[in-house]
């Protein structure tokens, strides 16, 4: 698992990983993008925060809570 910052926001590519990045970003939660969005819609995963018109992110605290309580 990646080391999470103490506070801040994570973009979806940081949570789910990005094989095409240089260097590749390993996933914190290894699921597909469609499964993630389905989980957000159903309430299984935390809701995102809009930081701008084209910028969506998740609070680190919410992701940490998700991991600690078993995904």
Tens digit of pLDDT for each residue in 9-67? 999 999 999 999 999 999 999 999 999 999 999 999 999 999 999 999 999 999 999 99
The continuous run of DSSP H or E covering 65 comes out as helix 60-68
Residue 6: predicted pLDDT: 87
Phi/psi at 10 (5° precision): -125, 135
- Rounded-to-integer distance, Cα 2 and Cα 55, Å: 22
Q: What is the pTM of this model?
A: 0.86
Which residues fall within 8 angstroms of residue 58, CB to CB, at 6 or more apart? 9, 10, 12, 15, 46, 48, 49
Residue 4: predicted pLDDT: 84
Residue 2: predicted pLDDT: 55
> Are residues 18 and 10 in contact, defined by beta-carbon separation less than 8 angstroms?
no
């Amino acid at each position: 698992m990646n080391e999470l910052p103490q506070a801040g926001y994570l973009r979806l590519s940081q949570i789910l990983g990005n094989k095409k990045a240089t260097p590749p970003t390993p996933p914190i939660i290894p699921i597909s993008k469609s499964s993630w969005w389905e989980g957000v819609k159903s309430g299984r995963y935390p809701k995102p925060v809009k930081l701008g018109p084209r910028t969506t992110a998740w609070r680190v605290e919410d992701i940490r809570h998700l991991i600690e309580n078993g995904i």
